[in-house]
Chains A and B, each alone.
Chain A
Amino acid sequence: MDWQPEHDTVARLAEPVTVVPVEDEAVLHHAGQGSVHLLDPVATVVVQCLDGHASLAEIAADLAEVAGAPVAAVLDDVQRLVAGLGAKGLLDGVAGDPDQELQRVEEALVDGC
């Protein structure tokens, strides 16, 4: 996945999404889609930080400090994760790759003609 959200993107889980923690991992359920998504321990921590207020850069800085890891690397991981969750319709504030969204709209228009 090449597209990534901007550093100052603010996101939170979409309204129909419920988080079910299990040990240090979690399962997301999207009520509208009826879909289940699995989060590994790192993704679980990131998702817990998506509160609709903090930017991805701020989240990455906090996590990097806790983990003792380079901020740039953590930010890259956070952006990739958020891009993936956004593409699945699990977030408010991130809809996924804008180019792919545009392509989907164009395909829908063609199909409708």
Chain B
Amino acid sequence: MADVVGPVRDAAGVTVRVRTSDPTLAAHLDSLLAAFPVVEGEADIDYRVASGDGRAWTLFVDGERVAARKRNRVAELLQWHCNRSVILAAVRRTTTLHAGVVARDGRAVLLPAPMDSGKSTLTAGLLRRGLDYLTDEAAIIVDGVVHAYPKVVGIDPGSHHLFPELEPDDDRRRFTYAQWHVPPAVVGAGRVAATAEPAVVVVPHYTGSGTTALSHVGPAEAVRLLAENTFGFHDRPVAHLRVHAALVEACSVHRMEVSDLETACDLVLGLLER
């Protein structure tokens, strides 16, 4: 069977195209990339997902085999490779934070945090409140402006109960392993914004119990928190610190202990209204 060839899409400066022989899988993979605009020209990265014996699916990148996975994990593998490629390209030319970003009226809320801090969950919660989406993974800062990397929103198993409406249907479940990959529009995002001006930084830390509360962070400590959540910080530390300092001067910066998602969303929206 001939490959189904998807369009070339611009994933935050890296153009990608996906081809696979399975039309259902092709449609699913394209839905994962749908928030990236379609562009003309050749792709920087040519993904091909091929079925061998029908059980294992192999991901090829520019003709080279990367790895094989079962059907329900091959989308996750492609997503991981795409994330890695976009972030590696971005850190060479920008300050790129490990952060979720949502926005309202062009004013961005940055949510920098390490893995398992509740960053993506809080991002999804704010999208459900109608905010615009930029990313749940990588905030690319260029000339003081946040640029989007609008990958699908990742909902980890520990947060599935908070988003029952996003549970994959049978078609999507065939391609789902642990994390749900949900297009931002399905989560409820107002729109996918290409850029936004930094206005608020909230560093979430999921506690699971206790009070959900904000605490203001002083400027030097805020710079340190941003440095801790910057991809490739030690490659160009002083340049990154200067970007962080400018961000801190443009934003109010807070830590947030999170035990209740809806309260956390209320608090972030309150900061945006100030």
- A contact set with B: CB distance below 8 Å: 18, 20-27, 29, 31, 34, 36, 38-40
> Contacts A26-B220, A38-B220: A21 and B245 contacting too (C-beta < 8 A)?
yes
> Contacts A22-B249, A23-B249: A38 and B224 contacting too (C-beta < 8 A)?
yes
Q: Are A22 and B245 in contact (CB under 8 A)?
A: yes
Q: Which residues of A contact B144 (CB under 8 A)?
A: none
Q: Are A20 and B223 in contact (CB under 8 A)?
A: yes
Q: Which residues of B contact A31 (CB under 8 A)?
A: 237-238
CB of B109 within 8 A of chain A? no
B237 partner, pick from A25, A29, A38, beta carbons under 8 A: A29
Q: Which residues of A contact B173 (CB under 8 A)?
A: none
26 A-B pairs in the complex with CB atoms less than 8 angstroms apart: A18-B241, A20-B223, A21-B245, A22-B219, A22-B220, A22-B223, A23-B249, A24-B219, A26-B220, A27-B223, A27-B227, A27-B241, A27-B245, A29-B237, A29-B238, A29-B241, A31-B237, A34-B234, A34-B237, A36-B227, A36-B237, A36-B241, A38-B221, A39-B220, A40-B218, A40-B220
Chain B nearest CB: distance from A50 CB in Å? 17
Q: Are A20 and B221 in contact (CB under 8 A)?
A: no
Chain A nearest CB: distance from B252 CB in Å? 12
B218 partner, pick from A21, A25, A29, beta carbons under 8 A: A25
Q: How far is the CA of A18 from the CA of B237 in the complex (A)?
A: 10
CB of B248 within 8 A of chain A? yes
Interface hub of B219, B222, B234, B248 (most chain A Cβ within 10 A) = B219
Q: How far is the CA of A18 from the CA of B222 in the complex (A)?
A: 18
Q: Which residues of A contact B237 (CB under 8 A)?
A: 29, 31, 34, 36
Chain A nearest CB: distance from B247 CB in Å? 9
Using CB atoms, name the residue of chain B closest to A40. Answer: B220
Chain A nearest CB: distance from B112 CB in Å? 15
Q: How far is the CA of A26 from the CA of B245 in the complex (A)?
A: 9
